Amino acid sequence: MAALPSKEAQVIRRRFGVSLEAAALSRLARGRRANSRTESSAEEGEITMTYVIVEPCIDVKDKACVEVCPVDCIYEGPNQLFIHPDECIDCGACEPVCPVKAIFVEDETPEQSKHFIALNKQFFVDNPGVKPCTTKN
């Protein structure tokens, strides 16, 4: 695992606890590799994405992912949930709890589901001000 600046690791430990730290560090390391690829897109004004929710979530929506998301960045659409690309901290906690394997890191999204990357982004364009899905609603 790539070493992280101690200040960054301390922030993760303080905010999310030790159990999430390993996942967060791993994802951050992967995110840094991805950053070199996405920086040019960001400069062009595109939204970058970390995790996405794809078609197996449709009409399941059991919200197991919502239960574990530490930053409440998962939102409910009419027939599936979506992850906010700017709010997701790339911790990976949601991926293993999904009972239908609907959550992927963007660059590991199966070929047949890649169009959901754009659908996830479009949801937030079409629904400005939408409230996050939390365990309280």
> One symbol per residue from 27 to 66: x for binding ligand SF4 (CB under 6 A), - otherwise; what is it?
------------------------x-x---x--xxxxxx-
> Which lies closer to ligand SF4 via its Cβ, residue 46 or residue 86?
86
Q: Could you give the CA distance from residue 38 to residue 108 in angstroms, rounded to a whole number?
A: 15
Spatial neighbors of 3 by CB under 8 A, at least 6 apart, are: none
Region binding ligand SF4 by CB under 6 A among candidate stretches 2-10, 39-47, 73-81, 110-118: 73-81
CA distance to 92, 102, 121, per residue, from 111 (Å) = 20, 13, 17
Count the residues of the shown chain that bind ligand SF4, applying the rule CB under 6 A.
27
> Which lies closer to ligand SF4 via its Cβ, residue 92 or residue 109?
92
> One symbol per residue from 79 to 108: x for binding ligand SF4 (CB under 6 A), - otherwise; what is it?
--x-x----xxxxxxx---x-x-xx-----
Classify strands 103-105 and 51-53 as parallel, antiparallel or unpaired: antiparallel
| Residue 12 within binding range of ligand SF4, rule CB under 6 A | no
CA distance to 15, 18, 27, 80, 109, per residue, from 105 (Å) = 22, 22, 9, 17, 6
